[in-house]
Structure 1
Amino acid sequence: MTSEQAERNGVLDDVCDHAARLISAADPRLHRLSIRTGDIAVELEWSPAAAPAAPAAEPAGALAAPARHGLAGPEPCEATGRDALHHVCAEMVGTFYTAPEPGAEPFVAVGDEVRAGQQIAILEVMKLMTPVGADRAGRVVEVLVPDGTSVEFGTGLIALDTSVQAIGTPG
């Protein structure tokens, strides 16, 4: 095997590993994942049905989902203790970042008031930076996951106190 073939096989192994992680943590409505290596492309197709489809039979040699070692375990995304406490949760598997770039100020800090839809973090998935927005208004009570940590779908990222008067609403 030439070094070029070994390098290609290594890249393919990495892509397959990432794809298996994506599939294992994806929303159950994920219908199809297509990966191409020529000019690299990843396609995800979501089923419109709310109920997950029965799993298809795996062809011989199919990839097994890897163990989730090193990923942050899901924090509950419902109220914990105080009725007005809400967790903004990861909508995908990825690496959680609190700031737009290393060394920059974080999007939010404990005590900040946020509006619904305001960007509060980033999730990186396969070099794609996806904004994380607050799904409701409130005051940041706690950042639940350290910056740069790998997280699973559904992991609580930031705790908001939603009893705070929403920004921009008449009081």
Structure 2
Amino acid sequence: MVVQTLSEVLALVGPSRAQRIQVRNGRFELDVTLRPEPGGNPAAAETGTSADSAKTDSSADAAPVDCPAPDTIPVTAPAIGVFHRCPAPGKPPFVEVGDRAAAGDELGLVEAMKVFTPVVADRAGTVSAIHVADRQLVEYGQPLVDLLPDPADEPPTGRRTA
């Protein structure tokens, strides 16, 4: 029940707005702290306590949708969780924009309930965009990294040349 309620709250506020989520199970209580809107007052982060006061207008809190370039391949989140760009605190990120990744290379990690799931390139390419910050909450299927595929790694089109 708590997981379902937490999923509903994240759907309402948008995962990129949730800065801190605290859940207590005795007489269920939920505390959500939101990041301020871009361009807004950073000191004006909202806090809701209990499931009733955590409800917000979902249209006002919708996260912006990134539109990848038509020639790039998005690498998406394998699960809901926290995206880690670095393998460990103090270590450099797995990849930066402009880096080349081979098929199977780790591009990041998604942590959910202390389980780390690798975000893996399914084909070789050059990192053209990174859509989320380190330690940002992400949704399943959310684009994390865009790859510009290597021409040699393109799937065949079925056309024959003579």
Normalising by structure 1, report the TM-score.
Answer: 0.54
Q: Which residue of 1 aligns with 2:135?
A: 148
Amino acid in structure 2 at the alignment position of 1:149: Q
Residues 52-91 of structure 1 mapped to structure 2, 5 A cutoff: 65-68=8-11, 69-72=13-16, 73=63, 75=65, 80-82=68-70, 84-91=71-78
Native 8 Å contact 2:78 2:117 kept in 1: no
The answer (yes or no) to whether the contact 2:72–2:147 under 8 Å persists in 1 is yes
Q: CA deviation at 1:20?
A: 1.9
Q: Distance in 2 between matches of 1:98 and 1:130?
A: 12
**Residues 74 and 156 of structure 1 are in contact (CA less than 8 Å); yes or no, is this contact kept in structure 2?**
no
Q: 2:117 aligns with which of 130, 143, 148?
A: 130
Deviation at 1:165, TM superposition (A): 4.7
Mapping of residues 21-60 of structure 1, within 5 Å: none
What is the SS of the residue equivalent to 1:150?
Answer: strand
Q: Deviations over 1:76-121 (max 9, x none)?
A: 6xx7333x21110012100001001121111111111111111110
- Judged with a 3 Å threshold, the aligned counterparts in structure 2 of structure 1 residues 138 and 21 are, in CA distance, closer, same or farther, namely farther
Structure 2, unaligned stretches of length 5 or more? 17-62, 154-162
Contact (CA 8 Å) 1:74, 1:153: kept in 2 or not? no
1: CA distance, partners of 2:113 / 2:149: 32
Partner amino acid, structure 1, of 2:149:
T
Q: Against the structure 1 CA distance between its residues 106 and 122, is the aligned structure 2 distance closer, same or farther, given a 3 Å change threshold? A: same
User: 1:74: how far off?
Assistant: 7.8
Cα distance in 2 for partners of 1:122, 1:164 equals: 27
Structure 1 alignment gaps of length 5 or more: 1-15, 25-64, 167-171
Displacement of 1:164 = 5.0
When the two structures are aligned, how many residues end up with a matched partner? 106
* SS of corresponding position for 1:101: coil
- CA distance 1:135–1:74, shift in 2 (3 Å): farther
Superposition RMSD in Å: 2.4
Are the counterparts in 1 of residues 68 and 146 from structure 2 also a CA contact under 8 Å?
no
